[in-house]
Amino acid sequence: MSSSSAALQERSGAARETPVLVVDDLRTQIHTPHGDVQAVDGISFTLGRGETLGVVGESGSGKSVLGRTIMGLYTTGPTMTVTGRVLIAGKDVHALSASELRELWGGDVGMVFQDPMTALNPVKKVGVHLTESLRKRRGMNRPQAKARAAELLALVGIPEPRRRLDQYPHELSGGMRQRVVIAMALANEPALLIADEPTTALDVTVQRQILDLLARLQDELGMAIMLISHNLGVVAGRADRVAVMYAGRVVETADAAALFDAPHHPYTEALLEAIPRLHQPPHVRLAAIDGAPPNMVAPPVGCRFAPRCRYAQPDCTEAPPSLDPAMANGVVTPGHSFACYHPVNAGGQ
Amino acid sequence: MAGSGVAHLRPEAEQVLAVEELVVQFPAKGGHTVHAVSGISFDVLDGETLGILGESGCGKSSAGRALMQLPPPTSGSVRLGDDELTGLTAQTVRERRARMQMIFQDPVSSLNPRRKVKDLVAEGPRIWGKEATREQIEAVLRAVGLDPAVVWERRPHELSGGQCQRLCIARALMLDPQVLICDEPVSSLDVSVQAQILNLLEDTKKRYGLSMVFIAHDLAVVKNISDRIMIMYLGKVCEVLPAASLAEHAMHPYTRLLLESVPEVTASEAATGGEQQRAGGELPSPLNPPSGCRFRTRCPLVTEECAAVEPQLREVGEGHYLACHNSGPGASPAA
């Protein structure tokens, strides 16, 4: 999570050899009474060991559906159709049987959800949440599982872990509950952790503690993290790479520093300008993005951001722009791609 | 009461809203008491926006609701212009507080789902026996950026969250308020819509000559809209300062902790991953708040004095007031 750019390159190099996660042309179509919604519309990326990908977007952009589809929580059925491929540690998630998926969840991949209260069973003690998978998966007996559960709670920074094992979720604060959820996700040392808005329900000082905790655990365990958030600040300081989503598609992806320094897609630029900054004086007028995200049953033809885009030209509404590599002085910028016909900060490209 | 004090209050003649020694307590199980707000004072001048900043459980929402007498505070005084609002009959309170309107965090659940936009906007005046004209309703809808022709017959579920928040602002404006109390008005909205609503509140304030109390947990949002900021912790005031000074000149260790915790979108931070800092600890229980300074259990500057004596707000700069023994000019050097 914290690394120099040299280390970053090294990581992306490693990612090419043995990616923990491969997502290839993933599409999730949700069938609703009003019509079909293309919630995830052709997304591809890879994630290497020890790497963090931040996924940002506003509500309805499809970032949570993406996370859940990768997990295999959303599969083809009466209410939705999933196409494309997801490989986690080499396993094709959407080809697994129900029992193989159970093996995968909490094994190779862990997930942390936004609301720590609903992610925990209110009538079961904290200890049961942790020992259940340890006993089933690792074949531990009760005392062994309990000892390991206490270790896990200590690992995520919960004081008096032995006592906490016998408490119910409602006896813990929000931050403590989220630590328990993280401990559950880490119980079997997953290769991939999908964190969907892990700190959104928490206060800013607690958010800092949880994000620091994830960074420390990543260093210790070497897992890959997919960090989904609507908060650009959370992602900026924590991700190696960032993907910006709009209306089911990735509109721009780059190394975190490059993306926030010189975004090429007008939507990324508009998002960055819309957030108030602490270093600005009070009463600075914010550059709001006019309009609202498109109706996803009948999204605009061409670029989906075009109706709200201040740089839109007639060609934007003809065909959707593809996600192509960024160029600087005729040379491809590694890792930076965007989908726009009229990019900003692109040096007259 | 400590972590409080009145040094920061301005002359009575200039105050539009004045709150003194406000205490809000709730009964809890087993004869315990939740100390939500423990003796805070503040004032708002004509055309001023006061931002109240703090984390969940600091009492900022309880304080905002106590202004509206929802429910009335346990003790203390709330004065709107020349009128005292506490200790009155329900009917008198209703009449006097009409000049103060409130906007809540969740715009959808604060609107009656069965009513149409036109009726929702007309509801306030109707309660006071005045029938709003179609022109008045259309004017206020336009003022908040809604197209009357489009939304006139719609119900709240047919509007987006941002549009519902605009509608809530329109409802408040129909009663021609002096003071607008906004309790986390943008925290349930996306950043692009958040910017629209913040701009709208700023425009509305100027156009209608309002004073505002803006309650939120997001430091950058509060700084953007406020003239003056009051930072609360566990029912007490830590610091009061001009909004422009927040980032550079805040002194209270809690304010500093908040500032250091904010993840900012800057290229430099993205490159380094952010500096590591000391762990912040957990909020103590409001059932049994710490003695002396309430922040002392998490404070890096804590001394014995902090447990024994509650700090009072003292002036440390122009319009800048601080309640801390160990920070700011003239502080006893920390051990």
pLDDT of residue A348: 47
Q: Which of A36, A27, A75, A67 is nearest to A248 (CA)?
A: A27
Nearest CA in chain A to B260: A205
Q: Is A5 helix (H, G, I), strand (E, B) or coil?
A: helix
Comparing alpha-carbon positions, the chain B residue that sits nearest to A236 is B270
Give the closest of B196, B261, B271 to A288, CB-based.
B196
Q: A156 to each of A118, A152, A307, B53, how far by Cα in Å?
A: 19, 6, 45, 29
Q: A23-42 b/e with 16+ CB inside 10 Å = b?
A: beebbbbbeeeeeebbbbbb
Q: Which chain A residues are closer than 8 Å to B246 by Cβ?
A: 278
Instruction: Give me the total of CB pairs closer than 8 Å, taking one residue from chain A and one from chain B.
Output: 147
What are A286-293's contacts with CB under 8 Å, separation 24+?
A286/B195, A286/B198, A286/B199, A286/B224, A287/B195, A288/B192, A288/B193, A288/B195, A288/B196, A288/B199, A289/B192, A289/B195, A289/B196, A290/B196, A292/B160, A292/B162, A292/B193, A293/A58, A293/A60, A293/A61, A293/A246, A293/A247
B231: closest CA of chain A, how far (Å): 14
What is the per-residue burial (b if ≥16 Cβ within 10 Å, else e) of A303-338?
Answer: bbbbbbbeebeeebeeebbebeebeeeeeebebbbb
Reported CATH class of domain B1-46+56-88+226-262+277-328: alpha beta
pLDDT tens figures, B178-216: 999 999 999 888 888 899 999 999 999 999 999 999 999
What pLDDT score does B279 carry? 45
Contact B86, B138 (CB under 8 A): no
Instruction: Domain of residue A89: give its range.
Output: 5-108+190-250
Cβ atoms of A210 and A202 closer than 8 Å:
yes
pLDDT, position A3 = 38
Q: What is the pLDDT of residue A336?
A: 93
Look at residue A65 and tell me if it is in a domain.
yes
Distances in Å between the Cα of B175 and the Cα atoms of B47, B151, B188, B197 are 17, 20, 25, 20
Report pLDDT digits (tens) over B4-27.
788 899 998 899 999 999 999 999
Instruction: Look at A277 and B55 and tell me if their CB atoms are within 8 Å.
Output: no
CB < 8 Å from A in window 224-263 of B: 224-227, 243-244, 246-247, 257-263
Residue A245 in domain: yes
CB B163 within 8 A of CB B146: yes
Q: Which of A167-181, B258-272, B306-320 has the lowest mean pLDDT?
A: B258-272
For chain A, the distance separating the N- and C-terminal CA atoms, rounded to the nearest angstrom, is: 31
The CA distance from A327 to A347, in Å, is: 9
Are B219 and A204 in contact (CB < 8 Å)?
A: yes
Q: What is the pLDDT of residue B321?
A: 96
The whole-number pLDDT of residue A175 equals: 84
Residues A105 and A295: their CA atoms lie apart, in Å, by 33
The reply to whether residue B279 touches residue A209, judged by beta carbons under 8 angstroms, is yes
Asked which of B220-224, B270-274, B275-279 is least confident by mean pLDDT, the reply is: B270-274
pLDDT at res. A347: 61
Task: State whether B271 and A5 contact (CB < 8 Å).
Answer: yes
Residues of B whose CB is below 8 A from A276: 195, 198, 218, 220-221, 223-224
Put simply, the answer to whether A233 touches B263 (Cβ < 8 Å) is yes
The verdict on residue A162 lying in a domain is no
Asked whether the beta carbons of residue B224 and residue A208 sit closer than 8 angstroms, the reply is no
Q: For residue A218, list chain B residues with Cβ-Cβ distance below 8 A.
A: none
Question: Touching check for B317 and chain A: CB below 8 Å?
Answer: no
| Strands A80-88 vs B75-80: parallel, antiparallel or unpaired | unpaired
Alpha-carbon distance A156 to A209, whole Å? Answer: 10
Biggest alpha carbon–alpha carbon distance for chain B:
68
Please tell me the predicted confidence (pLDDT) of residue A155.
84
The pLDDT value recorded for residue A8 is: 40
Is B98 near chain A, with CB under 8 Å? Answer: no
Q: State how many domains chain A has.
A: 1
Contacts of B262 in chain A (CB under 8 A): 204, 233, 278
Q: Please, are residues B100 and B177 in contact by the beta-carbon 8 Å criterion?
A: yes
> Are A270 and B227 inside 8 Å of each other by CB?
no
Q: What is the pLDDT along chain A (349 residues), one digit of tens a residue?
A: 443 334 344 444 444 467 999 999 999 999 999 899 999 999 999 999 999 999 999 888 999 999 999 999 999 999 999 999 999 999 999 999 999 998 898 889 999 988 888 889 999 999 999 998 889 888 899 999 999 999 999 888 888 899 999 999 998 888 889 889 999 998 888 999 999 998 887 788 888 888 988 998 899 889 999 999 988 888 988 999 999 999 999 999 999 988 998 999 999 999 999 999 998 999 999 998 888 888 888 999 999 999 999 999 999 999 999 999 998 888 888 889 999 999 998 764 4
Q: What is the mean pLDDT of residues B299-313?
A: 93
Chain B CB contacts of A58 below 8 Å: 190-192
Mean pLDDT of all residues belonging to chain B: 89
Cα radius of gyration (chain A): 21
- CB–CB of B261 and A207 under 8 A? yes
From B22's Cα to the closest Cα of chain A, the distance in A is 25
Contacts of A2 in chain B (CB under 8 A): 272-274
| A307 assigned to some structural domain | no
Is B288 near chain A, with CB under 8 Å? no
What is the complex's ipTM, to 2 decimals? Answer: 0.83
Q: How far is the C-alpha of B319 from the C-alpha of A271, rounded, in Å?
A: 34
- List the single best residue of A203, A255, A268, A305 to mutate versus B (max B Cβ within 10 A): A203
- Tokens 């000892």 — which residue? A147
pLDDT, residue B57, reads 84
> Of A345, A234, A246, A227, nearest to A294 (Cα)?
A246
Query: In the block, which residue shows the tokens 């190394």?
Result: A255
Would you say residue B154 has pLDDT above 70?
yes
In a domain, A335, yes or no: no
Residue B38 has pLDDT above 90, yes or no: yes
Q: Is residue A223 a part of any domain in this protein?
A: yes
pLDDT at B273: 39
* Probe site for chain A from B108, B190, B232, B256 (most A CB atoms < 10 A): B190
Domain ranges of chain B: 1-46+56-88+226-262+277-328
CATH code, domain with A208: 3.40.50.300
| Residue B217, token pair as written in the block | 């947990």
Q: Is the peptide bond before A314 cis (omega within 30 degrees of 0)?
A: no
**How close, in Å, is residue A67 to chain B by CA atoms?**
19
pLDDT of residue A226: 96
**Beta carbons within 8 Å of A4's beta carbon, 6+ residues apart:** none
**Would you call B162 an interface residue with chain A, using a CB distance cutoff of 8 Å?**
yes
For the CA atoms of chain B, what is the radius of gyration? 21
Does the pLDDT of residue B306 top 70, yes or no?
yes
**A86 near A144, Cβ under 8 Å?**
no
Return the pLDDT at B3: 58
Distance CA A337, CA A321 (A): 12
Residue of chain A whose Cα is closest to the Cα of B276: A212
Q: What is the b/e burial string over B132-149, where b = at least 16 CB atoms within 10 angstroms of the residue's CB?
A: beeeebbebbebbbbebe
Q: Are the beta carbons of A238 and B243 separated by less than 8 Å?
A: no
User: What residues in A contact B217, CB-CB < 8 Å?
Assistant: 203-204
